[in-house]
Structure 1
Amino acid sequence: MAINLNLNVEAGGEHSVLEGDDHSEHLLTDIGFPAYSGVRSPIVESVFEYGPRVGAWRLLRIFKDFGIKISILGVVRGLQQCPELTRAFVEHGHEVLSHGWRWIDYHLMPEAEEREHIRLAVEGIRSLTGRAPVGWFNGRPSANTRRLLVEHGGFLYDRDALNDELPYWVELDRGHHLVIPYSLETNDNRFDQNHGFGSAQDFSRYMIDTFDLLYREGAEAPRIMSIGLHDRLIGRPGKAVGLIRFLEHARRHDRVWFCTGEEIARHWHETHPPQTSVTVQTSPGVGAR
């Protein structure tokens, strides 16, 4: 069984009038403030700032204690504003993939502008880390995003799907492309939902229950557990203890591989190339069995 931990680092890339946007951010703040038109929201900005100031560093210590390598989903405009933290990600051996140039909705963005954002994101990560990203996760992609990634080249995979638990290939005009689905279920964003997690115990219990079933199923066929984290959410002490409890539980089991998205992608490229794997053009009716 593979466990892939994904830490979203988004501070500095969110909506802000400082970045030329017409409103402030309101998503995943854990405080429920609305977006404010035409003005800054200092409190919301400070919520995001907690991530690179405190939360991410706490999580780095936790992952170091457990000897785990993770995937950093970095919004590049934000990574540029915390170069010391970005260097620490690299020094600790974590994968840094692109979470987009900005942490914004790309659904309606003109194709030419999105193409430029992809270029800026790739060059930004290359400049900060010394290598271009091989993975991509937008979160709110357009219908053009995947095609533009393949057009740009250099990507082993993207995470912009929620439709499976195992990787799969899609066929595009320029060839095959690997998708490693993300998860909004095993994700600390549920702390920001009225019907979601209310405590660290809720988080650890949900993660442990998910792990236990997947581990049981893994006796018959390989399984992947993808976990989404945010430095400004799970990085808080009262939430981080839930992550520690889950990691302690998983560590008590053998046949568990803590891995990055890049490691999964390279394994899939080598062992399940597109000519021998299920290749899909649309999502319905295709899934892991």
Structure 2
Amino acid sequence: MSTRDLIGYGANPPVVKWPNGARLAISVVVNYEEGSEYSILDGDPKGESGGESPSPAGPGERDLANESFYEYGSRVGVWRIMNILDKHKINGTFFACALALERNPEVGPEIVRRGHEVMGHGNRWEEYYKM
């Protein structure tokens, strides 16, 4: 028997009243994992294969194109996202891997300084569903 609730409120959802008459609430979540993904350089048997495009690299081979996506995220992307959130006065939650924050030590304090929350996303980005 399933222990999941797949029914919910059905035809009788609760009436929710948001502050200032808002009709919608949005939660902004940013995954910050750059530097915590699978990497041959970290002694992993494979590099990260879940990137912007399929990886042609075989086991034990580096995929420099895919690595560059992660490097862009830590060098440029995270800062652009924080600037956009600042511009629109939005506080977000950063799902951050500890190793990513350790490898780019300016990011963690800056996330907090700008008023965002940090949510622990493990030490590294691993396939937790296999544990």
Q: TM-score, normalised by structure 2?
A: 0.76
Find the residue that maps to 1:72 and give its secondary structure. Answer: strand
* Structure 2 partner of 1:6: 29
* Structure 1 partner of 2:130: 108
CA contact (8 A) 2:56 2:63 kept: no
CA contact (8 A) 1:25 1:35 kept: no
Give the aligned residue type for 1:81.
Answer: R
For 2:56 and 2:47, the matched residues in 1 are separated by: 8
User: 1:51 Cα deviation (Å)?
Assistant: 0.6
Q: How does 1:106-255 map to 2 (within 5 A)?
A: 106-109=128-131
User: 1:4 Cα deviation (Å)?
Assistant: 0.4
CA contact (8 A) 1:9 1:72 kept: yes
Give the aligned residue type for 1:38.
Answer: G
Find the residue that maps to 2:112 and give its secondary structure. Answer: helix
Instruction: Determine what percentage of the aligned residue pairs are the same residue.
Output: 38
For 2:117 and 2:57, the matched residues in 1 are separated by: 32
Q: TM-score, normalised by structure 1?
A: 0.36
* Structure 2 partner of 1:89: 111
* Structure 2 partner of 1:19: 42
User: 1:35 Cα deviation (Å)?
Assistant: 5.0
For 1:105 and 1:35, the matched residues in 2 are separated by: 19
- Which stretches in structure 2 are left out of the alignment for 5+ residues? 1-23
Match of 1:40 among 49, 62, 66: 62
For 1:34 and 1:49, the matched residues in 2 are separated by: 19
Structure with greater proportional helix content? 1
Give the aligned residue type for 2:115.
Answer: G
1:64 to 2:86 alignment: yes
User: 1:19 Cα deviation (Å)?
Assistant: 2.0
CA contact (8 A) 1:15 1:104 kept: yes
For 2:56 and 2:26, the matched residues in 1 are separated by: 34
Q: For the aligned residues, what is the CA RMSD?
A: 1.4
1:65-100 Cα shifts (integer Å, max 9, x gaps): 111100001011111101112221011010000111
Structure with greater proportional strand content? 1
